[in-house]
Structure 1
Amino acid sequence: MAQARGHSIPQELNPQQHATVLDVVARACRDYPERPAFTSFGRTLNYAELDRLADAFAVYLQRNTDLKPGDRIAVQLPNLIQYPVVLFGALRAGLVVVNTNPLYTPREMEHQFRDSGAKALVIHKSMAHNAEKIIGNTDISHVFVTQIGDLHGFLKRTLLNAAIKYIKKLEPSYSLPGSVCLRHALDTGLGLKPEPVERATADPAVLQYTGGTTGLAKGAVLSHGNLVSNMVQGCELISRADGHWSQTTVAPLPLYHIYAFTISLIVMETGGHTVLIPNPRDMDAFVRELKRWQVSCFIGLNTLFVALCNRADFRALDFSHLIVTISGGMALTHDAADKWREVTGCEIMEGYGLTETSPAVSINPPGGVRVGTIGCPLAGTEVRILAQDDTDATPGEAGELCVRGPQVMVGYWQREKETADAFTADGYFRTGDIAIQEPDGYLRIVDRAKDLIIVSGFNVYPNEIEDVVASHPDVVECAAVGVADEKTGESVRLFVVSRNDALTAADIRVWCKERLTGYKIPREVMFTHDLPKSNIGKVLRRKLKETDQDAEVA
């Protein structure tokens, strides 16, 4: 089974007969040269420009470095138009891209660079000082540095780069001898064509590292076949909404994250335009950017939907062109879905996936959205719900969701044991998520197995508690975790962000008592100004479990 993963693409879903990601890019650039492809900081690349710049970077890699097909190149960039240029240029040179979070600490960078065996690095100048601290401990011998304005015209480039360096002071000094300005590399190769490199469907395209929230991050090997399969699976389903759904897609989530990465491929397949949001935490700038566009597609996650809907300037925007909204990364609450529909008039299509599945496993289809579920498995995707003894759960019974399909990773990079442990004997990937499959095929995630709270022998799922509490009119967002309890083994601790300073723990428990059975009611309620989140806005329950401040207990 392991040898077959990532080696083929469902032909019935692949009318263009793509074999690799490179085929997807080549067709989009050929068929839609004058259409806008990517926008960031007011600069738009059309497909023809993207094609030329990707070629230029591939040429430089081939002619000015000793990198060979199959070598790994780490890319550590925020949502800039440089990202797709570097990504597709590196793939055209036959390299394997290692997507790296720009928010990583030097320790995390060193682990990922060493684990992947990366020989080259593309990094934003604001992060180069961190690379300086650890690069001597890695195999990296080629470094490309870029600034925000590097692909803008002279005046805009000068102003942007000066503002970042001198006004915002976001570019600490660094020393990386031999590093090359990405702009120089592109200028050197511009107008030239790279030597063709044969890449097969089964060849690795990216190493996509897992979040590492429970230990050192592992690299999921995603082949060209994995990525193209998930692209065609997603494209087939989303396109049922409307043929113009991808005309202007807003991507506030980072492209180095597999969720936004694959969505961007789907948008390219349809000749669509992706507007990149470099910093969605700057909500004022985010909403100002949204005003500039007739948005047809929005990709986000629960916390972002809630934050936006709580803003008057967002609610005042024109949503008449919004066709598709996609949610992933964390559970979507009923309250967030209701608010989004009320504000925008668009239903949220919640999907589900993991880094290891490229990422999508299932999604709610257009016209068939069922809030509280993650939809049905994508075409060509098989799922099993397994009980604790690895037998199939009875219909309607909760168990571990296991997945088999063309989008499932080849395995973990250089980790045979972890790869073997991640799969059942018949090749299903163990997601670690607890799910129920309804009679008509819709899936419902009950919770992460590792987040399960066991109170006096009863299973308590944080998602259920959060969904109930989030519907309280004074609650902005919340998160539930399990804590040790002498009497019950574990009890529920709830963290609440409130818009009403008068809201008390007793109020929350009364709300829960009317809607939840007794053992699910939070023993402790803690009020906080915000919840710790990952770089894409996913609540980090691990961080909450480490919180030792006193809770408000009635």
Structure 2
Amino acid sequence: MGEIEMTTFATAGQIVPEDSFTRLLDRLPPEAELLSWEGAAFPAGEIRQRVGRLTHGLADLGLRRGDRIAVMLPNSPTWVVLVFAAARLGVAIVSLNPRLGAKEVRDLVIRTGAVALVHDSGYRNGASAQVLATAGELPSLRHVIDACPEPRAGVVAGAPVSSLTSLDLDRPGEISIGSADDPLLILATSGTTSLPKLVVHLQGRVACHARHGGQVLGLDEAGSRVLLMLPLCGAFGFTVGFTTIAAGAVLSLRDGFAPEADVTSMQTERVTTVFGTNDMLLKLLQTSEEQRPFPSLRYYGHANFTPGLDDLPEEAEARGVRVRGCFGMTETLALFSAQPDEAPLSQRQHGGGFPVDVGATFRIRDPETGVLAGAGEVGLLEISTPNIMAQYLDDNESTRAAFTEDGYFCTGDIARKETDGSFTFIARHSDVLRIGGYLVSPVEIEDVIRRHAPVTACQVVSVALPEGVRPVAFLVLEAGAQFDAASLESACRSDLATYKVPVRFFVLDSLPVTDGPNGSKVKKSALREMAKENIVR
């Protein structure tokens, strides 16, 4: 079938790309509240002054346009100030999760050639300092900057330590070197089977995406206040944080997810918008006993990272929490698309929707024939947006392979084209099972298992057997529950096509997961290895 004309949000007006990322901050009124942190309000003017002073401090250390500075910090106003200061200099931020191990930090610092690193030696009882001390030689690092009030010296051999406060220099004049085409942000992908790719985003593209997102998602409406519990070091948290700033809304910043404290903040600060994962939403609702705990909340923008919470959107809306599915990835940043706010729950609860950026489109292609899909058809999702990543760092081969000849980015995701011109995310292509000549979503099988077995979690993968590829299910049982494999197999045979029925059911204490800045993800590769070891002889 031919390509169907794309539809986008009618409210998204044309936004001219910024000259530099710092324009997002410079265009805000000085008196406007920008950040809320630990009970204190930070107006835009104060943040702008801090950015100017830190820019001078980084320049005095010798950082120059084209350099890279690794940031290994938890959420705080300092994170925001650092991003804008680096952007003024034309220096790229290498975003490091402060919970990374020594091997991961070493790999990312060496591969990016970061010349400076910012950390807090007091964070988590000195955990980051210990990681740096055991990371081995980091030859590119010329400076370590410590955000702790009492800096710890000697954490990286050969790299002198400066306190962040010593770089808060009040100098005359303003440094503004960075431009739209300068790299702003380098993020590692979440690959679990090989070294992560390093995604490079440019200042102008990130700024333009943030402004479009703020407009489409209604963050520019009067009184908007966004609670951010997601880490700024990840694509999801970074996008939400700076989209909020671009819209002129108040960013209520938190260091991590603490349901009881976050519920209190949402109520006392009259938070209008929250973005997070579906399991975070569940914990927020479980924390409050009120039937409608968040009267000021306009919607919860969610990502369905945790399987098995299919009833959550309906339960949330019954308690006054409107859910709105989004879609994004490291290469596009988060919030590439969002479901329309006026759509019915049956549509809004899923990831996908319409692109938020003007000029952004998508198409869905049959993975077997290469033919473009029409309404109601499923295939591989391809994306075109003017605000896509610039490249995978120092990896021209992977960069070329990620795009089609006409410039669409190959997401590796399976999606369905809807009749209204939007799309619905279904699964990662690598997670989709190819059984009996058919593409099968594991979610379909997992839903049947959850209906018929006392499980708290379930994941289905495929394994190659002599008779062909077959599905295998891994289950985590409810506390004290008894498991009857024969009964479950019979139920699956009743509800599913024969080739979709798992050949084995394995009970685990917990599913293997990998933790990242955007949340925990099940390690499907580990499950596939377990299946091979226990079935294939």
Query: TM-score of the superposition, structure 2-length normalised?
Result: 0.85
Alpha-carbon offset, residue 444 of structure 1:
1.8
> 8 Å contact 2:414–2:425 — kept in the other structure?
yes
Whichever residue aligns with residue 257 of structure 1, its letter is G
2:175 pairs, out of 174, 196, 200, with 196
**Partners of 1:49 and 1:340 in 2: how far apart?**
38
**Partners of 2:131 and 2:499 in 1: how far apart?**
47
Q: CA deviation digits over 1:433-458, x for unaligned, max 9?
A: 11221221121223211112233333
**Partners of 1:305 and 1:512 in 2: how far apart?**
30
Residues 331, 402 of structure 1: alpha-carbon distance in 2 compared, 3 angstrom cutoff: farther
Alpha-carbon offset, residue 357 of structure 1:
0.8
The equivalent of 2:242 in structure 1 is 265
**Partners of 1:505 and 1:193 in 2: how far apart?**
74
Whichever residue aligns with residue 185 of structure 2, its letter is V
- List aligned pairs for 1:291-370, cutoff 5 A: 292-309=268-285, 311-313=286-288, 318-328=293-303, 330=305, 334-343=310-319, 345-369=320-344, 370=347
Residues 135, 205 of structure 1: alpha-carbon distance in 2 compared, 3 angstrom cutoff: farther
Question: Per the alignment, in what secondary structure is the counterpart of residue 515 of structure 2?
Answer: coil
Structure 2's unaligned 5+ residue stretches are 1-10, 122-126
- List aligned pairs for 1:521-532, cutoff 5 A: 521-522=501-502, 523-529=504-510, 532=513
> 8 Å contact 1:350–1:363 — kept in the other structure?
yes
Q: CA deviation digits over 1:412-446, x for unaligned, max 9?
A: 11111111111101110000111221221121223
2:51 pairs, out of 49, 54, 64, with 54
Whichever residue aligns with residue 232 of structure 2, its letter is L
Whichever residue aligns with residue 120 of structure 2, its letter is H
- List aligned pairs for 1:268-279, cutoff 5 A: 268-279=245-256
Whichever residue aligns with residue 375 of structure 1, its letter is G
Alpha-carbon offset, residue 210 of structure 1:
0.9
> 8 Å contact 1:37–1:271 — kept in the other structure?
no
Whichever residue aligns with residue 135 of structure 2, its letter is I
Alpha-carbon offset, residue 205 of structure 1:
1.2
- List aligned pairs for 1:135-174, cutoff 5 A: 136-147=137-148, 174=155
Alpha-carbon offset, residue 194 of structure 1:
5.8
**Partners of 2:92 and 2:287 in 1: how far apart?**
44
Whichever residue aligns with residue 83 of structure 1, its letter is W
The equivalent of 1:37 in structure 2 is 35
> 8 Å contact 1:59–1:194 — kept in the other structure?
no
> 8 Å contact 2:365–2:381 — kept in the other structure?
yes
> 8 Å contact 2:56–2:175 — kept in the other structure?
no
Structure 2 residue 416 is the aligned partner of structure 1 residue 436: yes
**Partners of 1:85 and 1:138 in 2: how far apart?**
27
Question: Per the alignment, in what secondary structure is the counterpart of residue 54 of structure 2?
Answer: helix
2:470 pairs, out of 490, 501, 520, with 490
Question: Per the alignment, in what secondary structure is the counterpart of residue 478 of structure 1?
Answer: strand
Q: CA deviation digits over 1:73-112, x for unaligned, max 9?
A: 1111122222112111221222111111222211111111
The equivalent of 1:113 in structure 2 is 109
1:232 pairs, out of 211, 236, 242, with 211
**Partners of 2:491 and 2:262 in 1: how far apart?**
34
**Partners of 1:47 and 1:258 in 2: how far apart?**
23
Whichever residue aligns with residue 220 of structure 1, its letter is V
Whichever residue aligns with residue 24 of structure 1, its letter is L
Q: Between the two proteins, what is the percent identity of the paired residues?
A: 25
Q: CA deviation digits over 1:177-197, x for unaligned, max 9?
A: 6211213322xx1x4356433
Structure 2 residue 384 is the aligned partner of structure 1 residue 404: yes
Query: TM-score of the superposition, structure 1-length normalised?
Result: 0.82
- List aligned pairs for 1:3-42, cutoff 5 A: 13-14=13-14, 18-28=18-28, 31-39=29-37, 41-42=38-39
Residues 297, 415 of structure 1: alpha-carbon distance in 2 compared, 3 angstrom cutoff: same
Question: Per the alignment, in what secondary structure is the counterpart of residue 13 of structure 1?
Answer: coil
Question: Per the alignment, in what secondary structure is the counterpart of residue 83 of structure 1?
Answer: helix
1:251 pairs, out of 204, 209, 228, with 228
> 8 Å contact 1:331–1:463 — kept in the other structure?
no
Q: CA deviation digits over 1:13-63, x for unaligned, max 9?
A: 3558633321001112xx153414142x44543323222222221110112
**Partners of 2:287 and 2:19 in 1: how far apart?**
46
Residues 335, 514 of structure 1: alpha-carbon distance in 2 compared, 3 angstrom cutoff: farther
Q: CA deviation digits over 1:518-539, x for unaligned, max 9?
A: 4334431424356624233232
Q: CA deviation digits over 1:313-362, x for unaligned, max 9?
A: 3656731000021113737853222232233x122111111111123332
Alpha-carbon offset, residue 463 of structure 1:
3.1
Residues 530, 288 of structure 1: alpha-carbon distance in 2 compared, 3 angstrom cutoff: farther
Residues 390, 331 of structure 1: alpha-carbon distance in 2 compared, 3 angstrom cutoff: farther
Alpha-carbon offset, residue 201 of structure 1:
2.1
> 8 Å contact 1:245–1:324 — kept in the other structure?
no
Question: Per the alignment, in what secondary structure is the counterpart of residue 56 of structure 1?
Answer: helix
**Partners of 1:235 and 1:352 in 2: how far apart?**
15
- List aligned pairs for 1:454-533, cutoff 5 A: 454-467=434-447, 475-496=455-476, 498=478, 501-502=481-482, 515-522=495-502, 523-529=504-510, 532-533=513-514
**Partners of 1:497 and 1:172 in 2: how far apart?**
49
The equivalent of 1:218 in structure 2 is 197
Question: Per the alignment, in what secondary structure is the counterpart of residue 136 of structure 1?
Answer: coil
Alpha-carbon offset, residue 484 of structure 1:
4.1
The equivalent of 1:158 in structure 2 is none
> 8 Å contact 1:14–1:232 — kept in the other structure?
no
Question: Per the alignment, in what secondary structure is the counterpart of residue 372 of structure 1?
Answer: coil
Residues 272, 487 of structure 1: alpha-carbon distance in 2 compared, 3 angstrom cutoff: same
Residues 59, 302 of structure 1: alpha-carbon distance in 2 compared, 3 angstrom cutoff: same
> 8 Å contact 1:57–1:89 — kept in the other structure?
yes
Whichever residue aligns with residue 270 of structure 1, its letter is A
